[in-house]
Chain A
Amino acid sequence: MLGELLNPYHLQIASFIMINIILGISIYITLSSGQLSLGNAGFMGIGAYTSALLTIHFELPIFIGVILGALVAGIFGILIGIPALRLSGVYLAIATLGFGEVIRVIFVNWESVTQGAVGLSGVPHLGRELFKTVTAMGFEPEMLGLRNNQVVYLMVLTLLVVINILLIWFFIRQNKSRVGRAFAAIKMDEKAAESMGINITYYKVLSFTQGALLAGFAGALYAHVMAYISPADFAYHRAIEILIFSVFGGSEVIWGAIFGATFMTILPEALRVISEYRYMIYGVILILMMAFRPQGIIDVSLLKWIKNMIKSRRRTDHGTGTKKHN
C-alpha cells in the first residue's frame, strides 16, 4: 500500500536532499565562472532569517517570504560580489568565509530581532500551511488512504521536486547560452575572455549573485521545512558541506553538484546504524576521492561516456532486437 511505503522520516530526508541540491547548484554556479565562494552558508542564513521573520511578524504568505528571502540574499550577493571581485582563488574563499561568519555573529548578537543563539522557533511550516490550504478546499487525506503527516511531508517533497526540476532546467539552458559561454571562458582564462569582448566584471558579479540568490532561496525553504532555525545552522561547517557537495560530485558539470548533494545527504543517514563511525567513513570517502578522483565523481568525460552508452544501446536495440531481455 502507498500509505505504508511513505515514511515521513524518509520524505523529510528526501526534502533535505532537494534543498541541498539547490545549495550544491548555488556553489556550482559561482564555480562555473571560476570563483570559489564559501559565503553561501551566510547567504543561506540571510534568506532563512529574512523569510522566517517576515512570515512570523508580518504574516506574509510563505511563498512571498521565500522570494523576498532569496532577493535579499541576492542583493547582499551584489554588494559582496563587487568588492570581492578584486580577489581570486584562495583569497576570495577566505574573504567570503569571513563574510559568512560575520553574518552568523550578527544573528547571534542581534537578539531583539533574531533571538540570538536560541534561534527562531514557530516559523510557519511549509507542509502544514499547504495542508491547511488543500483541506480548506475539501481534500481529505483518507481519499488517498494516507495519514495527515504523510500528506504534509509528501506535499513539501513534491513542491521541492518541481522547484528543483525547474531550476535544473533553467541552469542547463543558461549553460548553453551566451551567459554560460561567458562563465566558461572566464573560468578558463580571464585575459582571453576579456579580449573576446566579454565584460568579465559583469559576468563575475552575475554568477556570484546567482549563487547568493540560490543559496538564499534554499535557506528560506530550509526555514519553512524545519520550522526552526538558529545561527548554528549557517556556520562555517555548512559552508564546507556545500563546497563538498560540488567538489565530491564534480564541479565541472551541474550533475556533479546534484549527485554530490544527494549522495552526501543520504550517506550519514544510511550509516546511522554504525553511528559512532559514520563521520569517520564520511572523512575517509573524502580522502579517497581527493586522492583518486580529484575532479569529482561526475565529469565531462563520464557524461560523454554515459551518452555514448545510451546511444549505442538504442542502436543495437533497434538493429537486432535481441538485447531486449538483458
Chain B
Amino acid sequence: MLKVKGIETFYGKIQALKGVSLEVEQGQVVTLLGANGAGKSTTMKTISGLLKPKHGTVEFLGENITGLRPDQLLRKGIALVPEGRAILSTMTVMENLEMGAYHRSDKNIKKDIEEVMEQFPILKERSEQLGGTLSGGQQQMLAIARALLSKPKLLLLDEPSMGLAPLIVADIFKMIREIKAAGTTVLLVEQNAKQALKVADYGYVMETGKVIINGEAKDLLEDARIVEAYLGKKSS
C-alpha cells in the first residue's frame, strides 16, 4: 500500500535520513521504532510532505506522492495525526470532530461522528467542552478520532503516546487496536517499543538515519538486540 524507497532527507547540510525504505501492507499496523534522533519523525515528516527528500520516493497505491502536502495526501486517503496532539483548543470537541470531515461532502458525516462517539464514549461525554480543556490523553484520542473522520485508507500516527501517563498510554494503544480491527491501515511511529510491537504486525527499527532491523513484530519482541536496547532485559 505505502512504499517508501530509499529516501534521503536533509536539514540544510545535515543528512537526517540516509536511505530509508519501508513498506506498509493493507490492513496492517506497521511501527517505526528508534531512540531520539534516530530519524523516525523525519521519516514521518517526509512521508507526510512536511519535508521534501533529496533522493528517493514515496508511493501510495502505486502512485508517486513524494512531497505532496498533508492536505493533498488527505484527499488521496492518508490522514496524519501530527506529533503533540494538534487539536483545535478553542473549538469544542464536537467542532473538532466536524473539522475532521472538512474535505468530505457526503451525507454520512453526522452518522460517522455518532459512530466515532459511540466507539470513544469519553468524546461524547465531553462533546460540548472546548478541546483545550481536555486532558492530554483525551486530546490525543480526539486528534485520532478526528483523523478517522476523514475516512482514511492509511492513518499516520506520530508518537501518540508521547508525554502521557502509562495508564493513558494503554488506552491509546487499545484505541489503535480498535482502529486496526475496523480495517484501517496504520503506520505508527513510537518510542514505546514494547507497546508498539504488541499492537503491530511488522516493525522497523531506526538508528542514526537508517533502518537497522526489520521484521515481524512478534519476532522483534524476542530479538535480543531490541530487547536489550529498547525493552529492557527480561521484559515481561
A21 at the A/B interface (Cβ < 8 Å)?
A: no
Evaluate contact between A184 and B88: CB separation under 8 angstroms: yes
B123-166, CB under 8 A of A: which get 1 and which 0? 00000000000000000000100110010000000000000000
Evaluate contact between B69 and A194: CB separation under 8 angstroms: yes
B147: chain A residues at CB < 8 Å are 195
Closest to A252 in B: B90
B22 at the A/B interface (Cβ < 8 Å)?
A: no
Contact among B48, B89, B90, B100 for A196, CB-based, below 8 A: B100
A190-201, CB under 8 A of B: which get 1 and which 0? 011111111110
A111 at the A/B interface (Cβ < 8 Å)?
A: no
B88: chain A residues at CB < 8 Å are 184-185, 188-189, 192-193
| Contact-residue bracket for chain B | 20 to 34
B87 at the A/B interface (Cβ < 8 Å)?
A: yes
Give chain A interface residues in 172-193, CB to chain B under 8 Å: 178, 181-182, 184-185, 188-189, 191-193
Give chain B interface residues in 90-138, CB to chain A under 8 Å: 90-91, 99-100, 102-103
Evaluate contact between A196 and B91: CB separation under 8 angstroms: no
Evaluate contact between B86 and A189: CB separation under 8 angstroms: yes
Evaluate contact between A196 and B102: CB separation under 8 angstroms: yes
A198: chain B residues at CB < 8 Å are 71, 102
B146: chain A residues at CB < 8 Å are 196
Closest to A190 in B: B86
B29: chain A residues at CB < 8 Å are none
CA distance A184 to B100 in the complex (A): 14
A182: chain B residues at CB < 8 Å are 102
Asked, given contacts A181-B102, A189-B86, whether A195 binds B91 with beta carbons under 8 Å apart, the answer is no
> A interface, by DSSP: helix, strand, loop or mixed?
helix
B193 at the A/B interface (Cβ < 8 Å)?
A: no
B70 at the A/B interface (Cβ < 8 Å)?
A: yes
Number of residues from A at the complex interface, CB < 8 A: 18
CA distance A196 to B75 in the complex (A): 10
B74: chain A residues at CB < 8 Å are 195-197
How far is the CB of A35 from the nearest CB of chain B, in Å?
A: 17
B53 at the A/B interface (Cβ < 8 Å)?
A: no
Evaluate contact between A195 and B102: CB separation under 8 angstroms: no
Interface residues of A, Cβ cutoff 8 Å to B: 178, 181-182, 184-185, 188-189, 191-200, 300
Q: A189-B88, A192-B88 are in contact. List 14 more A-B contacts (CB 8 A).
A: A178-B102, A181-B102, A188-B89, A192-B143, A193-B88, A194-B70, A195-B79, A196-B74, A196-B99, A196-B100, A196-B102, A197-B70, A197-B74, A200-B71
Instruction: Enumerate 24 A-B pairs (CB-CB under 8 Å) in ascending A order.
Output: A181-B99, A181-B102, A188-B88, A189-B87, A189-B89, A191-B82, A191-B86, A192-B86, A192-B87, A192-B88, A194-B71, A195-B48, A195-B79, A195-B82, A195-B147, A196-B99, A196-B100, A196-B102, A197-B71, A197-B75, A198-B71, A198-B102, A199-B72, A300-B90
